[in-house]
Amino acid sequence: MMNDPYAALGVRRRINAAGALTRLGGAVMAPEVVEAMAAASRASVDIGELQDAASTRIAEATGAEAGLVTTGAAAALTLAAAASIARWDVARMAALPHGDFPRDILIPRTHRTGYAHALAASGARLVDIGHNDRGTGAGVRGLEAWEIEAALSPAVVAMAFSVNATSLADLPTAIAACRAAGIPLIVDAAAQLPPKENLKRFTALGADLVAFSGGKALGGPQASGILAGKRDLVASALLQQLDMDVAPETWSPPKLVDRANLRGLPHHGIGRGFKAGKEEIVGLLMALDRFVKADDTADNARLEARLKTIAAELDGHKVTLVPASITGRVPVLEIAVSEALAVSARLQRGDPPVHLSERHAARGVLTLDPQVLLPEHDAPLAAALRAVL
Asked if residues 203 and 61 have their Cβ atoms less than 8 Å apart, the reply is no
Asked if residues 159 and 124 have their Cβ atoms less than 8 Å apart, the reply is no
List 209's β-bridge partners, or say none.
Answer: 186, 229
Band the pLDDT of 140: cuts 50, 70, 90.
Answer: confident
Asked if residues 331 and 300 have their Cβ atoms less than 8 Å apart, the reply is yes
Asked if residues 335 and 385 have their Cβ atoms less than 8 Å apart, the reply is yes
State phi, psi for 94 to the nearest 5 degrees. -70, -30
Q: Quick check: 318 pLDDT over 70?
A: yes
Give just the sign of the alpha carbon dihedral 171, 177, 178, 179: positive
Residue range 84-135, pLDDT digits in tens? 999 999 999 999 999 999 999 999 998 898 899 999 999 999 999 998 887 7
Asked if residues 75 and 119 have their Cβ atoms less than 8 Å apart, the reply is no
pLDDT reported for residue 368: 98
Give just the sign of the alpha carbon dihedral 256, 258, 262, 267: positive
Q: Which of 1-5, 101-105, 144-148, 231-235 has the lowest mean pLDDT?
A: 1-5
Length of the chain: 389
pLDDT reported for residue 1: 63
Task: Report the side by side order of strands in the sheet with 319-322.
Answer: 319-322, 332-336, 365-368
Band the pLDDT of 138: cuts 50, 70, 90.
Answer: confident
Q: Quick check: 249 pLDDT over 70?
A: yes
pLDDT reported for residue 39: 97
Q: Quick check: 266 pLDDT over 70?
A: yes
Band the pLDDT of 260: cuts 50, 70, 90.
Answer: very high
What domains lie within the chain, and their CATH numbers? 5-25+295-388 (3.90.1150.180), 44-292 (3.40.640.10)
- Alpha-carbon distance of 2 to 11, in angstroms, equals 14
- Alpha-carbon distance of 193 to 35, in angstroms, equals 24
Q: Quick check: 220 pLDDT over 80?
A: yes
- Alpha-carbon distance of 345 to 334, in angstroms, equals 17
Residue 291 half-sphere exposure toward CB, CA atoms < 13 A:
28
List 11's β-bridge partners, or say none.
Answer: none
- Alpha-carbon distance of 263 to 195, in angstroms, equals 42
Distance of CA 167 to the CA centre of its chain: 16
- Alpha-carbon distance of 207 to 198, in angstroms, equals 12
Q: Quick check: 376 pLDDT over 80?
A: yes
Neighbours of 23 (CB within 10 A): 7
Q: Quick check: 377 pLDDT over 70?
A: yes
Q: Quick check: 142 pLDDT over 90?
A: no
Q: Is 355 helix (H, G, I), strand (E, B) or coil?
A: strand
- Alpha-carbon distance of 362 to 354, in angstroms, equals 19
- Alpha-carbon distance of 246 to 265, in angstroms, equals 9
Residue range 167-206, pLDDT digits in tens? 889 999 999 999 999 999 999 999 999 999 999 999 999 9
- Alpha-carbon distance of 248 to 245, in angstroms, equals 9
Calculate what percentage of the chain has a pLDDT beyond 70. 99
Neighbours of 36 (CB within 10 A): 20
| Sheet strands (E) in 273-380 | 319-322, 332-336, 354-356, 365-368
